[in-house]
Structure formats: C-alpha cells, structure tokens
Amino acid sequence: MLDLVVTGGVAVMPAGAEAADIGVAAGRIVAIGAPGSLRAIGAARVIDATGQIVMPGGVDPHIHCSSPIPFPGRNDDLLSAPPEQVSRAALYGGTTTLLDFAPCPSDQPLRQSIELRQREWAGACCCDYGFHLLLHSNPSQGVLGALPEAIQDGHASVKMFTTDIRPNRQGRMVQFGDIWEVLKILAAAGGIAAIHAEDNDIVMHMYEKLIREDRVGFENMAEVHNTLSEDLSFNRVIRLAENVEGAALYMVHVSAATGVAAIAASRAHGYPIYGETLHQYLLYTAEDYKRPGGQMFHTYPSLKFAKDQEALWAATHHGAIQAIATDEVCCPLQVKLQGRRIDDTTGGNSGVEPRLSLMYTHMVTKRGYSLADFVGLTSANAARIMGLYPRKGALAIGSDADIVLLDPRAGRVLRKGDLHETDYTPWEGHEVAAWPSMTILRGKVVVDNGTFLASPSDGQFLPRKIGDDIRARPAL
Ligand SMILES: [Zn+2]
C-alpha cells in the first residue's frame, strides 16, 4: 500500500506535462500511472488534484538567511531572517529546496566554517537545504587545499565575488589570480563556480564620481552597478574559465543584456556556463527606484533598463538563463528602507514565497511557456546544475516526493498581510494566476490549503554532486 496518491491533476514530468497519478511511499515517488490507476491500488491518503498542476517542489538556488546586513556607522550585528522564517514562507509558496551560503573566512579552517553553518541550520529549517561555499578575499592555502574534500562532502559549488560591491565594505572581492586557482581546483574535484561578477574598478569609479557630483540617491544605482561593468567582468571571468580545462560556471543574478550576451557567446562555443536571474530583474527596472519606497525593488548589482529586461526574458527561452532565483535577504521594511544612498542601500529581497506563482503567471499565462519550461526555470534546471537532480526537481520514480499542487483557480492579488516572509513585499498588488493549494516535502504534507504543518526539524541537509554532463558542456 502506498502512503500517498496524488490523482486527477496534470503532472509536470521530465518528458512533459500530462494527466497522471503520482504514488508515494517512504518519502519517495514510487509509482506514476495513468489517471485513476493508482487510486485503485489504494493509499493511506488520496489527494484529489483535479483541475490543478502537479509539479516538483520549487528549488531556489540563491538565498541568504541569518546573513549580516551592514549599514555604515552602525556596528550591531543585524542579520537577515533565519532559515526557519524563510523556509516557512518558501513552503507556503511551493519551494521545497533552498541553497544558502556557508561563509568561508580566509583565517578559519574550511571544515570549521562549514560545521558552523551546519550547526546553525540543523533543526532550524522547515524545508531541505544545502550550501554554496562563499570564499572571502585572499583565500589562504589552507582553505584552498581543503576545497576538494569539501566538494566530495557535497558542498559542490563555490561562490566568489569579483567586487566588494560597496566602497565601505572590503573583504568580499576575490582577486582574479585566486579565482583562476579556484577554477582549477573545482575543475579537478568536480565542482562548479558561482560568480557574482561586476568590474570592481568601474563600480568604485562610479561611486567616487557620483559622490563627487553629489548624485548619491539610490535611484542612480544603475549608473554605478552598470551594464558596462557586467560586460567587462562577465567576459573576463568567462575567458578565465574557458582557459581552465573542465571549469564550469554559474553566473548569479544576471541583470543586463551585456551579461546575457557574454554567457550566450561562451555557450555557443560549447563551454559549460549557466545563467541565473532574479524575478526582481524580470519584472522591475531602474525606473521603479523612483517610486515611493523604491529601495524595496533593489538588489545588487542593480535593476537595469527595459532592453536589459527584454534580453533577460528572451534568454529564459532556451537561451543563456536557466534558473530564476530570489537572492532572498529577508528583513523588515524599516531595514530595507534605512539606506537612501548608492552606498548604503540594503540589497537582497523578500520574494521566496510568491516566486513560483509569479513565474507561472508571467511565463505560462502571459508568455505561453510550456509547463515543462516553467518547471525547468523554477526547479529542475537549478537542481540539475547544482547536483541535486533527479532527487530534487523531478516528478520521477525514485525522486524525493517533493510535490506541489498549483491551483489555477486560486489566482489572487498579492498582499503583504497574506504572505509569511516579513512586513512588506516588493510584490504588493501584483496579480498572480495561480497559487499552491498544497506543498508536500518528502511525502509529508507540509502546507494544506493554507494550514502549515511543517516544523524546523523537517528540513534535511542535501549533499550535492555536480553531474558530469553539466560540467562537460552547456547541458541545459
Ligand atoms: Zn546573493
């Protein structure tokens, strides 16, 4: 007997969407059958998904929980919302897997950095999770030497910044020589590099220039974190990777047409390079900075312009962009609005909960993407690139039973009071054409028609191994 049967819905499977029953036992998908066929076998619980889309749980490959939110002149340790709060919102919105970061300072043994993060998350996350290793400036030989073992242990992606992002914030930028060394290590050990690429010279030059010209309002952010910077830095890091046999790149939060073009050119030559963008960048532009509370729409590098947005959208259609993330840095509105300048505005955003429904609306309803493409961009592709597939991101036999019932009859207008992230949402007033009626995590119903049934002990750490196909060529 099965634990669970989901029957009557349109299931989005790797081969496409069709009416099917999904059977679950011991937390995994164990049977997929014709409509009604599994119901007949019997199950402890039968879930009627008639009229609904049945899809794998969302995968958000880029979030920051319990992460410092710096503000000039203030020395307290203000942190973004913890995993419990963010994972709860994620499950409400149909996302069952989150990838965060383990900060890896140069003066601390790598193993210790990872253990600290593991301890922070164990028993504190309602959904499943993993970590990218986040290298700091000047990684020590000790940290570099310990990377292969960490990759073997399932921390298979390493994040690096090519910029300090803000003038008052040193310690993030990894020099190109060090990035080169890390790419060689990753290539040999089977990892992938996740890069936040901006040209530090251009960015810092623009900070100085705008401060000199007394144009420091954050609405000028796209002049600082600009499209030329994305062009220069993307091409530079891509050229570096192209010269390391076996190096694979995942470019985080692509924001500009120049970034899209750089990735596309390298992929056209057969290099394994993948692009991530944010729903923020797909649906807002730098014009939105001028609205009241416009900081709400900001996340670094910056919102760009209509033609960048068009290029990003075009790239989601089997082009240079494979995954839609949030870059979640969940905080109260007062914190999000505390900075007003180009050099003090809080980055990241609150958006993990409505991500799936917003993307369904804008991809499937408004642009006619197939359900399979929508699931690819919000779940399956990130799972594949980050080494979680087919355990995550697939309705397939043997996969974890992370299943979302997305209800196209439950469209609504997004209101902060209905969401579970924080006291504001950058998506206030947006209409979505569907909303999850149920979220299932490894066979356990964790959200049932608005009732939350998960606990922080439900989340499991996910060791990851990047697929050889992902690292050999642009496999997606
Ligand atoms: Zn980020």
CA of 100 from ligand 1 middle (Å) equals 9
Q: How far is the CA of 195 from the centre of ligand 1 (A)?
A: 10
* Cα 173 to averaged position of ligand 1 atoms, centre (Å): 14
Q: Which pLDDT does position 50 carry in this prediction?
A: 97
Distance 63 CA to ligand 1 centre (A): 6
Among 254, 362, 262, smallest CA distance to 312 is for 254
What is the reported pLDDT for 41? 86
CB 101 within 8 A of CB 64: yes
Question: Tens digits of per-residue pLDDT, 378-391?
Answer: 999 999 999 999 99
91 — pLDDT class (breaks 50, 70, 90): very high
Mean pLDDT of the chain: 97
Q: Which residues surround ligand 1, an ion (CB under 5 A)?
A: 327
Distance CA 299, CA 222 (A): 11
For residue 300, the CA-to-ligand 1 centroid distance in Å is: 8
Report how far ligand 1's centroid is from the alpha carbon of 242 (Å): 24
Handedness of CA 23, 124, 155, 62 (dihedral sign): positive
In the reported structure, the alpha carbon of residue 157 is separated from the centroid of ligand 1 by a whole-number distance in angstroms of: 14
Distance 61 CA to ligand 1 centre (A): 10
Ligand 1 centroid to 250 CA: how many Å? 13
Using DSSP, state whether 205 is helix, strand or coil.
helix
Mean pLDDT (whole number) for 280-309: 97
CA of 325 to the centre of ligand 1 (A): 9
pLDDT of residue 75 exceeding 70, the answer is no
Distance 347 CA to ligand 1 centre (A): 8
Would you call 285 exposed, middle or buried from its count of C-beta atoms within 10 A (0-12, 13-18, 19+)?
middle
Cα(103) to ligand 1 centroid in Å equals 12
Please tell me the predicted confidence (pLDDT) of residue 42. 84
How far apart are the CA of 406 and the centre of ligand 1, in A? Answer: 27
Between 40-49, 73-82, 117-126, 140-149, the lowest mean confidence (pLDDT) is in 73-82
- Give the bridge partners for 157, in sequence order: 192
Q: pLDDT tens digits for 173-213?
A: 999 999 999 999 999 999 999 999 999 999 999 999 999 99
pLDDT in tens, 442-473: 999 999 999 999 999 999 999 999 999 999 99
Average pLDDT of the residues in 82-94: 98
Distance 348 CA to ligand 1 centre (A): 7
In angstroms, the CA 110 to CA 144 distance is 8
Tell me, in angstroms, the distance from the centre of ligand 1 to residue 475's CA. Answer: 24
